[in-house]
Amino acid sequence: MFNFITRNFSLIVFCLLMAGPVGAYVASSPNYRLQADSVNFGGSMSSSTNYKMEDTLGEIGTGTSSDAYNLHAGYQAMSEDVYLTVSSPSDVTLSPAIDASGGGTSDGTAVWTITTNSPAGYSLTLSADASPALRSAGGSFTDLPVTVAGTPDFSWSVPTNQAYFGYTAEGSDVATSFLDNGTTCGTGALETTDRCWLNFSTSAKTISLRNSNNNPSGTATTIKLRAQAGASSGLSGGTYQAVVSIIAIAL
């Protein structure tokens, strides 16, 4: 019996640590965001080797107070620096091995936990380094075809003469495209287990999105991977590998 194994699924994680001043915003539109509002009519910053002082006419103004400590209060003072952390899972080995002569299904799971103090939250995107994503020197799995481009299919199905590779995302912050109404993905508020399957793409796909602070507990997003070969797919045996990039950004 000639087997091939879909393994060494390399997961490359890019962790973007955002340290810029970001505050809770009071008004926004698709074109702008007001971080804070204030009633005043003047002000400036004074500094020396030992101190920095913000002054204003109309409201109290204090910014970075000295080299020894920071006091954020009043006009011209924004919130604390923003940070974002991302857990880094190990490479995923899909299992069990698939019998090249009879076909079969192989699964794997990876979990990322994102933590940020940004009041605007974060986004998490996924992309593959090549198309098709899962391949070997002698063949490749087809990236899972979906009915509507960019929208997951509710069910997983593979014809006997095909071999498909895809994924689904699960977690409290998953993007709306991975939610369902019980029969269709991209609509509704349900997160049905092992549903809403999508193809990997070289274009970044938003898989999780949050618009608020989740510090200190963070939020986990689970990516479930699946490779399935039909009994007459004709794939050659070997080791198949995919490389995926995960990018997290504090908003």
Domain range spanning residue 65?
37-74
**83 close to 18: Cβ distance less than 8 angstroms:** yes
Q: Please, what's the b/e burial string for 85-105 (b: 16 or more CB within 10 A of its CB; e: otherwise)?
A: bbeebeebebeeebebeebee
**CA 243/CA 119 separation, integer angstroms:** 32
> Do residues 68 and 98 share a domain?
no
Strand-pair category, 219-229 with 163-170: antiparallel
* pLDDT tens profile 47-87: 777 776 666 666 555 555 556 665 655 555 555 578 899 98
Same domain, 116 and 202: yes
Q: Worst-scoring range by mean pLDDT, 7-21, 87-101, 205-219?
A: 7-21
| 54: amino acid identity, one letter | E
Q: Cβ distance 14 to 123 under 8 Å? A: no
The backbone torsions φ and ψ at residue 176, rounded to the nearest 5 degrees and listed phi first, read -60, -25
Q: How far is CA 158 from the centre of its chain?
A: 27
DSSP code of residue 235: P
- Residue 220 burial by CB count (10 A; 0-12/13-18/19+): exposed, middle or buried? middle
Strand partners, 40: none
Residues 52 and 123 in one domain: no
Residues 140 and 211 grouped into a single domain: yes
Same domain, 46 and 170: no
Please tell me the predicted confidence (pLDDT) of residue 155. 97
120-128: average pLDDT: 93
User: Whole-angstrom Cα distance, residue 206 to residue 151?
Assistant: 11
Residue-level pLDDT at 23: 43
Q: What is the pLDDT of residue 18?
A: 37
In which band, very low, low, confident or very high, does the pLDDT at 11 lie, cut at 50, 70 and 90? very low
Q: What angle (nearest 5°) sits at the alpha carbon of residue 127, between those of residues 125 and 130?
A: 170
- End-to-end C-alpha distance for the chain, whole angstroms: 52
Does the residue 31 lie in any domain?
no
The amino acid that residue 128 corresponds to is: A
- In this predicted structure, what is the pLDDT of residue 25? 56
Cα atoms in the 13 Å half-sphere on the side-chain side of 198 = 28
Whether residue 44 is found in the same domain as residue 159: no
Q: Looking at the 3D structure of the chain, how many domains does it have? A: 2
pLDDT at 58: 61
Question: Does residue 24 lie in a domain region?
Answer: no
Characterise 28 by phi-psi region: left (phi > 0), alpha (psi -120 to 50), beta (else). beta
This model's pTM is above 0.75: no
Q: What is the pLDDT of residue 2?
A: 29
| Residues 159, 43 share a domain | no
Q: Render pLDDT for 168-225 as a digit per residue (tens, 0 to 9).
A: 999 999 999 999 999 999 999 999 999 999 999 999 999 999 999 999 999 999 999 9
Which burial class, exposed, middle or buried, applies to 15 when counting CB atoms under 10 A from its CB (0-12, 13-18, 19+)? middle
Q: Which two tokens stand for residue 251?
A: 């908003």
Q: Do residues 163 and 121 both lie within one domain?
A: yes
How far is Cα 177 from Cα 184, in angstroms, rounded to an integer?
10
Could you tell me the CA-to-CA distances from 32 to 117, 119, 138 in Å, in that order?
21, 16, 50
Q: State whether 68 and 113 are in the same domain.
A: no
**Residue 45 falls within a domain, yes or no?**
yes
**Token representation of residue 224:** 């479930």
